[in-house]
Structure 1
């Protein structure tokens, strides 16, 4: 049996409850069995093999003296308490870390452990230099262990150069399905994608090209069953036993569709809890992860960073794992299909601020059902705050209810927020600024439309306006304002849900909404003096 056959041949199809065919995906044990034994160790590999994992994925790095070892991180710190990069430590010193069998193993030891076993070893690589060492280690191994390869494109190219017949899995980080042109460089057998990017269209396109589809990392039954019904060929998981049990139950009892659609209350309750957790995860990541890559999109002022992309990928994965059938629209990766529920995400609103070290950015995450907002959170990494709202249940920050009274408020001495249209003033900006100044009211441009609107819900500022509504950027903040008792207006007057996409809109404290609306509309329409 070849490595490719061992890796990608699916198990026999099973009929589901309505007669269609579901092929039970092969299971890939992520870093062995990390929920039972320490990841990327021989005991973890042994447990994964005993659990019947068809493929066992391990991460490989090289030591200072060119030994291929099993380790995910660049440094030894997280797992082994040594802050040094493994590439600067000789094998003899690496081997001393840990105790008993819980030590960092060499790659050749892992190959020997699986020699004669049915499991394939899937070697995951990030660095091209590591890949060369790993490929040469496998080439020099005299046993029969089947090996496949996955990881960064440069690393896979290095493997292919060393091992022309290697079974390579192509990393895929796009909602667009692969094309024949994408396969020319590596000629992979499989595309390997985060569950965040799993769509029916990608599975269909990959299979049409003769590719298998692998998805990672799935640890819960619901998304695993959903992925199986889409036709994926393998699932990478930290919990082989649980996912295998879920598939066994489905084969035994059938693969039923949902008995009923969950109610709006049920979905909103689960979604609010998930969004709250995600927001805190994003706060920690944004604060701790330095910006290392900056590129542009539409123009030199339209920036995107590795933080934008990494946050979006993380949030998509978290949502897809909890709600596999929901649609998703994100700032960086676009639209994914789904049912009547759709999530909208801006991973970093205020990217220019982030790049320039200005601590005023935010994440916006909003769930809608049939186009109506249900749940919204705005994460402020620099205050460490999560402002959250649920339709009909109010808005809170730090467990404090947000509620704007309707006491009349004067514009004099108050602050109104706005944002530029891209990097330029919006039509009427100057007139609006002058009219507010005439009323002794200050206009602020902070650099994050999400926070500009959301802070009004928190009583920080008397109003805010943006030149073009987008549910990606402003959906969560608009829901916050509604649930806090604020007013949301377009040029045609108040709106109850979202403003039309692309329309200018204003949010305001109810006690100042009428006067601020008059000033704003006069400036935007240019129909007369705003004074």
Structure 2
């Protein structure tokens, strides 16, 4: 048994040398051609020229290492049981012909003498230990590397101290020597949403190769190559190889002309619309999962928050790989003068407690000016969207606030606490509005509190501190619907300054609301 050739993908590789094409990692073989994680799928990937074939390894009830991505046999093989509860004899009978679940030792034999190495993906430490015993006992000369969860890789490293490990890196923070010293990896594995020039440079400085996954579309492939990735993991080896060959032939430089603002706006608006509807379905259907806290007990984060942000980042990266991105959960990835701002779930406390009042906020800016914004309300199934200079719409119906006077009596104004408590002046605002028979609602999603005004639901809304992550899309919606956006200095066009108190209002109530709101904030 051998390990991967570190002269090309390991710490001895001079990743800062002249540009070479990224090597190709075929994820689960060739799943677009043959059933994933089977011998035919591996054979197709190897024939297409994959440098590395990544497969998923689990164990049967009697301790046989087999290829399977899922914990259960249901999705691919029609058996709802966990594979760890089923004997190899039963597993071997599933499927037909060559489309069956293979043993790991059969895969090692199949790739013996081939140019393609095998990358074993392990999730469970118990699965990893069974796989390490299989690899250690193998007589086949197949290059092997490992990747997966941290506990599983720790088990691999303990069992096989000199084996080749690829460390997943799920952060926009650059890796340090301390981060990688324990597992001693040869390669850093990045999801495409975490691929940045700074991370690649830091990995290379540590002597690590960089693999980016899962990249199937042309633009992200080119981005990965331009950024300096050493390996590209894909489910479509043939298409990615063609894109890389085209880049080698035609060069990797971006077009000197580049898209116009109108072209970017049109594409971004269509993308944001699709993302919003995808997020609505995901948020409604996905279990909340584990609930943790970020800055205190009153600041929860769930699996949904993280999953939605990764989904959105991936969609944006696929369409606009050079754009910057700031998200609530994973922070900032730098880019060109275009920048996206995302709050995947604004109102997470509501989500955790089963209150159907949350939203996704996604906004694109160009040189600091808002260009496109969407607010997705999963519980009404609504997408409010706006494009600078083109108006705002809800379900293809234009949103337009008239200039008719709106009395505060009988009206509703939205407010949000901001952070973990009420802001100074909120109580005075509530009292002043109550004296005018105007109701105040604190619903728990500042995105919706502001965005609802654009839809004519309430005469105003206020938040104590503007943040484009939470409020960028809603502010653009109000502007494009004809509403008024104010700070304590008066109306603003574009974004308020970060951290400023913000009031949005129906034009017919803006003056009176501003007087009351600013007085409440300024009172001592």
TM tier, shorter chain?
over 0.9
Residue 58 of structure 2 corresponds to 61
Instruction: Return 79-88 or 296-305, whichever deviates more.
Output: 79-88
In the alignment, what sits opposite 1:302?
Answer: 299
Where does 1:12-161 land on structure 2 (aligned, <5 Å)?
Answer: 21-161=18-158
Residue of structure 1 in register with 2:277 after alignment: 280
Q: Secondary structure at the match of 1:481?
A: helix
Q: What is the Cα deviation at residue 194 of structure 1?
A: 0.5
Shift in Å, 1:525: 1.1
Measure how far apart 1:465 and its partner are: 0.4
- Of the structure 1 ranges 180-189 and 62-71, higher mean CA displacement relative to structure 2 is found in 62-71
Does 1:224 pair with 2:247? no
**Does 1:392 pair with 2:389?**
yes
Which residue of structure 1 aligns with residue 435 of structure 2?
438
Displacement of 1:6 in angstroms is 6.2
**Partner SS state of residue 223, structure 1:** helix
Question: 1:119-140, CA deviations, whole angstroms, 9 ceiling, x for partnerless residues?
Answer: 0111111111111111112122
Cα displacement (A) at 1:77: 2.5
Asked if the contact 1:13/1:23 (under 8 Å) is kept, the reply is no
Q: CA deviation at 1:7?
A: 8.6
Match of 1:167 among 156, 164, 168: 164
Write the distance in 1 (CA, Å) between the matches of 2:285 and 2:437.
40
Give 3-state SS (helix, strand or coil) of 1:204's partner. Answer: helix
2:249 counterpart residue number: 252
Q: Does 1:316 align with 2:340?
A: no
State the secondary structure of the residue aligned to 1:22: coil
* Corresponding residue number in structure 2 for 1:345: 342
1:114-513 correspondence to structure 2 within 5 Å: 114-513=111-510
- 2-structure distance, mates of 1:453, 1:86: 49
Take 1:439 and 1:516, find their aligned partners in 2: how far apart are those partners?
A: 11
> C-alpha distance in 1, partners of 2:304/2:7?
33
Q: Is the 8 A contact 1:462 1:512 kept in 2?
A: yes
Q: Is the 8 A contact 1:386 1:398 kept in 2?
A: yes
Change in CA separation of 1:411 and 1:32 when aligned onto 2, cut-off 3 Å: same
Cα distance change on mapping 1:78 and 1:390 into 2, 3 Å: farther
**Structure 1: how far apart are the matches of 2:103 and 2:383?**
44
Cα deviation 1:77-123 (Å, max 9, x = unaligned): 32233333222233233333333222222222222221211101111
Q: Secondary structure at the match of 1:23?
A: coil
Instruction: Count the aligned residue pairs.
Output: 522
Task: For residues 321-347 of structure 1, give each alpha carbon's deviation from its aligned partner in whole angstroms, at most 9, with x where no partner exists.
Answer: 211111111111111111100011111
**C-alpha distance in structure 2 between counterparts of 1:384 and 1:137, whole Å:** 50
Deviations 1:138-170 (A, max 9, x none): 122211111111111111001111111110001
Distance 1:343 1:304 in 2: 21
Which residue pairs with 2:3 in the alignment?
3
* Distance in 2 (alpha carbons) for counterparts of 1:381 and 1:7: 50
User: Is contact 2:400–2:481 with CA below 8 Å preserved after alignment?
Assistant: yes
- What displacement does 1:251 show? 1.7
Q: Which moved more, 1:71-80 or 1:515-524?
A: 71-80
Q: Which stretches in structure 2 are left out of the alignment for 5+ residues? A: none
Tell me how far 1:255 sits from its aligned partner.
2.5
Contact 1:14-1:23 within 8 A present in 2 as well: no
Give the Å deviation of 1:220: 1.6
- Give the CA deviation at 1:13: 11
Range moving further from structure 2, 453-462 or 249-258: 249-258
1:7–1:54: 8 Å Cα contact kept in structure 2?
A: no
- Tell me if structure 2 keeps the 8 A contact 1:349–1:449: yes
2:5 partner SS: helix
Contact 2:2/2:141 (<8 A) preserved: no
CA RMSD in angstroms, aligned pairs only = 2.0
- Judged with a 3 Å threshold, the aligned counterparts in structure 2 of structure 1 residues 100 and 402 are, in CA distance, closer, same or farther, namely farther
| Cα distance change, pair 505–441 in 1 and its aligned pair in 2 (3 A) | same
Deviates more, 1:253-262 or 1:427-436: 253-262
Answer yes or no: is the 8 Å Cα contact 2:9–2:186 preserved in 1. Answer: no
Distance verdict in 2 for CA 1:385–1:63, change over 3 Å = farther
